[in-house]
Amino acid sequence: SMNILLELFVVTFKVLWAFVLAAAKWLVRPKEKSVAGQVCLITGAGSGLGRLFALEFARRRALLVLWDINTRSNEETAGMEAPPHSNLQVYTYTCDVGKRENVYLTAERVRKEVGEVSVLVNNAGVVSGHHLLECPDELIERTMMVNCHAHFWTTKAFLPKMLEMNHGHIVTVASSLGLFSTAGVEDYCASKFGAVGFHESLSHELKAAEKDGIKTTLVCPYLVDTGMFRGCR
């Protein structure tokens, strides 16, 4: 019973200490990470959040690698952040992240043409917009491939070098629907729950490997007004 009391004390102390640290960070803001000159890859950069991420990283002088399945909208994003005569470097690649081989081939091209990726933003996402019984099987598979499986392929492509250098950052853009669910978006919720689980497990793996130079960030936005959820109530 003495052991149980001791364990209870240790756990309580750790919980309270976590609150103290969180409060300290709230008061003394941590220094913002610099991404200037770092190779930053954003998937789904042709529209919505991906485009906004690209513009934000451009403002912070990152070297940008933009992936999207839609070549035209991807090029439009590149044009928005690198107007003529600006010395900002932006590389665009047409890639279907739902296809494993496509990811690995495009990743190889990036390594040859640009260099090693320091910041990987897994943002590409799709939503079928159908209730389960009305949703074609192909669309369900597509949702899982793009919103969940793609994170495995991109991470497998770029993490080895990050581990070697003990330097990098992996950002998972999931969704609030990856934390709690609602009716009528079964495939989307399942895929985002999968992305959250993948991210958290990966974070633990990096911590266990003592790779303190590789950071992870999980982003779970609410329904964002980028056209993806038009008609959602």
For residues 70 and 45, is the Cβ–Cβ distance under 8 A? no
| Largest pairwise CA distance in the chain | 72
The pLDDT value recorded for residue 229 is: 56
Quick: pLDDT tens for 155-185.
999 999 999 999 999 999 999 999 999 899 9
The pLDDT value recorded for residue 232 is: 53
Q: Per the residue annotation, which of 91, 93, 104, 188 is the catalytic one?
A: 188
Tell which wins on pLDDT, 26 or 124: 124
**Weakest-pLDDT range from 10-24, 76-90, 170-184:** 76-90
Stretch (H or E) spanning 143:
helix 137-144
Give the residue extent of every domain in the chain: 34-214
- Whether the per-residue pLDDT at 51 is higher than 60: the answer is yes
How many C-alpha atoms does 80 have within 13 Å on its Cβ side? 20
Proportion of the chain above pLDDT 90, given as a percent:
82
Q: Which of 177, 170, 150 is nearest to 215 (CA)?
A: 170
Report residue 171 as tokens: 């950002």
For residues 61 and 82, is the Cβ–Cβ distance under 8 A? no
188 is a catalytic site residue: yes
Buried/exposed 21-56: b ≥16 CB within 10 Å, e otherwise: eeeeeeeeeeeeeebeebbbbbbbbbbbbbbbbbee
pTM summary value:
0.87
CATH for 34-214?
A: 3.40.50.720
Tell which wins on pLDDT, 187 or 84: 187
Q: Return d(Cα 179, Cα 69) in angstroms, integer.
A: 27
- Whether the per-residue pLDDT at 231 is higher than 70: the answer is no
The pLDDT value recorded for residue 84 is: 64
- Whether the per-residue pLDDT at 18 is higher than 90: the answer is yes
Strand ranges across the sheet with 39-43: 90-94, 63-68, 39-43, 119-122, 168-173, 214-219
Mean of the per-residue pLDDT values for the chain? 92
Report residue 93 as tokens: 């690649």
